[in-house]
Amino acid sequence: MNKTNNNLLISILSSFIFLSTSPTVFAQIFNNNQSPLSVKWREIKAGGFQLIYPSELEAEAQRMATTLPAIYPQVGRSLQRQQTQLPIVFQNRLTMANGFVQLAPRKSEFYSTPPQSFDSQDWLNNLAVHELRHVAQFDKLTGNRKHPFPEEIFFAYIGLSVPTWFLEGDAVSIETALTSAGRGRQPSWIMPFRTSLLHQASISYSKAYFGSQKDLTPGYYQLGYLMTSLLRKEYGEESVNTLLQETFQKPLRFYPFSQSLKKLTGKNTRQWFKHTNKELKTLWDQQEKNSPGETYELLHKPSKIVTSYHLPTALADREVLTLKHSKNDPPAFVLIDSVGREKKLTRIAYQEQAWLSYGGEKIVWDEIRFDPRYKNRSYSVISSYDLSNGKRRQLTHKSRLYAPALSGDGQKLIAISIDLSNRSSLVELDPQTGQHLQSYPNPTNELLQTPALNYNGSEMAWISVDERGKSLWYRDKNGQTHELIPKTNQQLSRPVFTSQGIAFNAHLNGLNNIYEVNPHSKKIVALSASKYGAFNLSSSLNSSVLLFNDFGITGYNAVRATREERPIGENHFVYVGQSATEQEGDKSIFRNLPEKETHDSQPYRPLAHLFNFHSLSPYVEDEDISGLELRSHDLLNTLDTYGGISYNSQLRGLTYKAGITYKALFPMFSAVWQNRPRTTFYKPDSTVYQADWRENHLQFKAVIPLSLNAYNHTYSFIAEIGTTYTNRQLNTFDAKYIPNSVHFPMVYRLSLGHAVRSAERDVSNRFAQSLTLRYFHQPFDNRYVGKLAALESYFYFPGLLKNHGFIASLNFQKSSGIFRYSTEIPTVYGYQQLTNFQDKLNNTLLLNYRFPILFPDWEIGPLAYVKNIRGGVFSHYENLGKGSKIDQPKTYGFELKSHLHLLRYQPLIDVGGRMIFSNRQYNQSPVYEFTFSYSF
């Protein structure tokens, strides 16, 4: 809904907490996107849960309708939550795996498409345990109160009260304790924390929580899991419940969770972090003694910041192909020569996991494509790059294909396909055209992952997953299928054919290493002995030389080693969640589910459920206006409505308003009504009069927002048309001089944009263009004569050094009549503060150069955590053309900015200031401006 009057506090706090309760490796704010109109929705109501799902997911929805009510009492048991009421929306047209729980409105969403690199169990089962734990946390912290419409208030309260790491850590702890898998049992998931600690890298609590733009940090999911696991070990099963209960009962304290933690343990959050590190260091030091690691030869030059060289692959000319991820550069395929020099081949789009396959002078990979309009639909397509001619092409379109694998000779291509009903299959494609050739049977409908081919494509290997665990499969030259490794909770992944057998990733000795199985004898040997974790062996031209990833303090290194077979060794994994597992009963929650039953399924008609009022919330529009709004959002994000009342202290009057936005159709339609006080001064003769009145103001708008991506490029198109109608309630005298109505002035906007993918440390878009055209006129009201046409443009270029950026903004407007002194283009810095700007504004040229200064990772006690300090210089011009001197900028100066986290809260604050000089003398010289914004 297009409103600018939301309370800043509510906006910040109600958006960052629980907004990324994803159990996957990436996070997101909660979904406000729409699904295409072609989706046929159905619903099942069972045990307090309302399951809303696309018709293709009928079988999965029936299964979840039995599962969710059965497991919730155990998921919520340690928080004394046994029942709940919750709608859950299943999204099956997104090709990324994810999930979240939210308030305002209260619901959960499950992204049903399983990932290629997740756990050794059923995807939806694991997702259910994790998200239902968040539901129990919600209910614990809010007392399960529902009236009178307090959800946004509770959302803000939760954000102020409890750090995100604790909520996510507790959910991962339960996810691990109540299943036979879970991320807490995966060495690779904890690996960044363990690597950082054993490498003697001293990081602060804030750095571990909020991350860094230069160094390896564990992530707040891992941080939270380890800290809450130790809490349960030392203070028992009731400790989590005690903390949340204490926080709920005593909310009006500064840092209420930290105070509750100190009451229980004698340590605040920062002290408990240090205590956790000390305990883990002792445990992991002992593990390192029991499983000592080796040092391997780097294939690239050492990096000072976090940089990963995924999936190193040997080429015939002694070069090594890798997929490089860096905080300094966007993801790209690079070649590394024998002395470590790098050559970039091509950049790529977002991937569900880092992936490439090489054969016959070609690279293939999968990457995500988003629907231009309906962002609840995406695709996973296969692209290729030909090293012989440098050409790339997209082989498939609107597909749901993952982990493509080429044979060594490049003549055969296979991939994993997942349809809208979650059925997984192994398919063969034409490596030149992407055409589907055949599918291989998967009668048990297990999830298939990360396939591989031998050199000539006559043999295959792949991983399968279901609730019993993972298996490694082999299909021989005769088409016979063999289970080489039966169901296990090992993190089996990415098999690859070698001269001796099939290599794969696993953690058989408690650390991730590379192992090899003989397809005939099924004997397993270890091929690596990494200190922190080894992954992704590549097929080598020389069977005695191994290329693989070895994890280190700067990420995934590409390394080389001489082939040496080792015994597997004992498993010395440090299972930090053991106490929680024992407290929860030490058995999988899915072992004794009720027998499968058929639930009553009904069509879910979105139009019948458009209104879902959830919050009565205060807001502050500016220093003069504050009020109260009743808000509604339907569960499918198609209709937003609100109604409210506010008080304008300057005008001493009430404003009544209501708004609606309908987003299901290709254009989005919105309407806003306000009954509001207004005032003005006018001078019909020598006397100045003040007119005060109330008016009804109606605003209508239609918007088509489109965006699409291809490789590392994103394109956007926005078309908008809007109008208003105003009816004024004037007294008889004022009505002689002030029109009593304004009839439908028209506003048009057209925006075009393009951007290439930027790096995390870039201070602005690396290369981008943006054009916006606006046109205003009044075709339906002859009393008002005038027009305004405006062009706003931005051009982004790389700067002189790494991560620097240059921005040029050239803007024009032509106005007449009632629009003569309107401003619809960007103005020079200091425009509002400097006086005597009496000239009509025709154009501006804004030149900005921005650059990073420091990435300090400063923790200033509990007040702030400073991630970076950035600088900039600018020179801005106004009304260029006849009579102007381009060498005399209107304003110029410099700025300093910083990204930081305030008071240990999740939103990333961008705060700074600039000093502005002018080429003419004004009342203020120089002018100082303060800037502030936030993001999640």
- Give the pLDDT band of residue 5 (cuts 50, 70, 90): very low
Short-list 902, 903, 906, CA closest to 255: 903
Residue pair 297/547 in contact (Cβ under 8 Å)? The answer is no
Residue type at 882 in one-letter notation: K
123-142 and 164-177 helices, crossing angle to 10°: 130
- Three-state SS at 4: coil
- Rg of the chain on CA atoms, in Å: 30
CA dist., res. 245 & res. 469, Å (int): 36
Short-list 179, 195, 49, 53, CA closest to 118: 179
CA dist., res. 398 & res. 57, Å (int): 19
Q: What is the pLDDT at residue 149? A: 74
Residue pair 640/668 in contact (Cβ under 8 Å)? The answer is no
Residue range 225-234: average pLDDT?
98
Sorted by sequence, the CB contacts under 8 Å of residue 921 that are 6+ apart come out as none
Q: What percent of the chain is modeled with pLDDT above 90? A: 82
Residue pair 263/249 in contact (Cβ under 8 Å)? The answer is no
Q: What is the pLDDT at residue 15? A: 33
Is the pLDDT at 112 greater than 60? The verdict is yes
Q: What's the Cα-to-Cα distance from 580 to each of 411, 584, 919, rounded to whole Å? A: 50, 6, 68
Residue range 208-236: average pLDDT?
96
Is the pLDDT at 20 greater than 50? The verdict is no
Q: What's the Cα-to-Cα distance from 253 to each of 200, 249, 256, rounded to whole Å? A: 36, 11, 5
Q: What is the pLDDT at residue 18? A: 32
Higher confidence at residue 936 or residue 69?
Answer: 69
Short-list 801, 800, 798, 804, CA closest to 871: 804
CA dist., res. 742 & res. 745, Å (int): 7
Q: What is the pLDDT at residue 145? A: 61
- pLDDT tens figures, 572-618: 999 999 999 999 999 999 988 988 889 999 999 999 999 999 999 99
User: What's the gap between Cα 225 and its chain centre?
Assistant: 20
As given in the structure block, the two tokens for residue 513 are: 């290493």
Residue pair 671/700 in contact (Cβ under 8 Å)? The answer is yes
Residue pair 135/19 in contact (Cβ under 8 Å)? The answer is no
CA dist., res. 157 & res. 758, Å (int): 35
Considering the chain, what is the average pLDDT of its residues?
Answer: 92
As given in the structure block, the two tokens for residue 131 are: 């998200």
Residue range 102-128: average pLDDT?
94
**Pairing mode, if any, of strands 805-815 and 787-798?**
antiparallel
Residue type at 94 in one-letter notation: L
Q: What is the pLDDT at residue 151? A: 87
Sorted by sequence, the CB contacts under 8 Å of residue 223 that are 6+ apart come out as 165, 169, 193, 208, 209, 273
- Give the pLDDT band of residue 4 (cuts 50, 70, 90): very low
239-249 and 123-142 helices, crossing angle to 10°: 40
Q: What is the pLDDT at residue 31? A: 78
Q: For residue 580, what are the β-bridge partners?
A: none
What are residue 246's phi and psi, to 5 degrees? -65, -40
- Give the pLDDT band of residue 685 (cuts 50, 70, 90): confident
Residue pair 515/500 in contact (Cβ under 8 Å)? The answer is no
- Give the pLDDT band of residue 221 (cuts 50, 70, 90): very high
CA dist., res. 545 & res. 560, Å (int): 7
CA dist., res. 816 & res. 785, Å (int): 8
CA dist., res. 645 & res. 641, Å (int): 14
Q: For residue 378, what are the β-bridge partners?
A: 370
Residue type at 104 in one-letter notation: A
Is the pLDDT at 817 greater than 60? The verdict is yes
Residue pair 320/547 in contact (Cβ under 8 Å)? The answer is yes
Sorted by sequence, the CB contacts under 8 Å of residue 505 that are 6+ apart come out as 491, 492, 493, 494, 512, 513, 514, 515, 535, 536
Per-residue exposure over 466-483, b if at least 16 CB sit within 10 Å of its own CB, e if not: bbbbbbbbbbeeeeeeee
Q: What is the pLDDT at residue 886? A: 60
CA dist., res. 494 & res. 502, Å (int): 10
Residue type at 109 in one-letter notation: E
- pLDDT tens figures, 849-867: 999 999 999 999 999 999 9
- pLDDT tens figures, 346-378: 999 999 999 999 999 999 999 999 999 999 999
Residue range 159-176: average pLDDT?
95
Going 26 to 635 to 934 to 757, the CA torsion angle's sign is positive
CA dist., res. 85 & res. 87, Å (int): 7
**CB-based burial label for 727 (10 Å; 0-12, 13-18, 19+):** middle
Higher confidence at residue 148 or residue 636?
Answer: 636
- Three-state SS at 567: coil
Residue range 73-78: average pLDDT?
97
Q: What percent of the chain is modeled with pLDDT above 70? A: 94
Higher confidence at residue 881 or residue 854?
Answer: 854
- Three-state SS at 797: strand
Is the pLDDT at 412 greater than 70? The verdict is yes
- Give the pLDDT band of residue 883 (cuts 50, 70, 90): low
Residue pair 761/852 in contact (Cβ under 8 Å)? The answer is yes
Higher confidence at residue 289 or residue 830?
Answer: 289
Half-sphere exposure of 739 (CA within 13 A, CB side): 10
The DSSP annotation for 684-709 comes to SSSS-EEEEEEEEEEEEEEEEEEEEE
256-265 and 269-290 helices, crossing angle to 10°: 60
Instruction: Report the 10 Å Cβ neighbour count for 445.
Output: 14
Is the pLDDT at 920 greater than 90? The verdict is no
- Three-state SS at 842: coil
- Give the pLDDT band of residue 27 (cuts 50, 70, 90): very low
CA dist., res. 320 & res. 366, Å (int): 20
CA dist., res. 224 & res. 215, Å (int): 19
Q: What's the Cα-to-Cα distance from 79 to each of 158, 255, 741, rounded to whole Å? A: 16, 21, 59
Is the pLDDT at 395 greater than 70? The verdict is yes
- Give the pLDDT band of residue 242 (cuts 50, 70, 90): very high
- Give the pLDDT band of residue 452 (cuts 50, 70, 90): very high
Half-sphere exposure of 56 (CA within 13 A, CB side): 14
Ordered alpha helix ranges (H), 363-404: none
Higher confidence at residue 10 or residue 227?
Answer: 227
Is the pLDDT at 922 greater than 80? The verdict is no
**Pairing mode, if any, of strands 424-429 and 469-475?**
unpaired
Q: What is the pLDDT at residue 59? A: 96
- Three-state SS at 443: coil
Residue matched to tokens 């069972």: 46
CA dist., res. 268 & res. 542, Å (int): 55
Short-list 514, 516, 518, 519, CA closest to 537: 514
As given in the structure block, the two tokens for residue 842 are: 């025709």
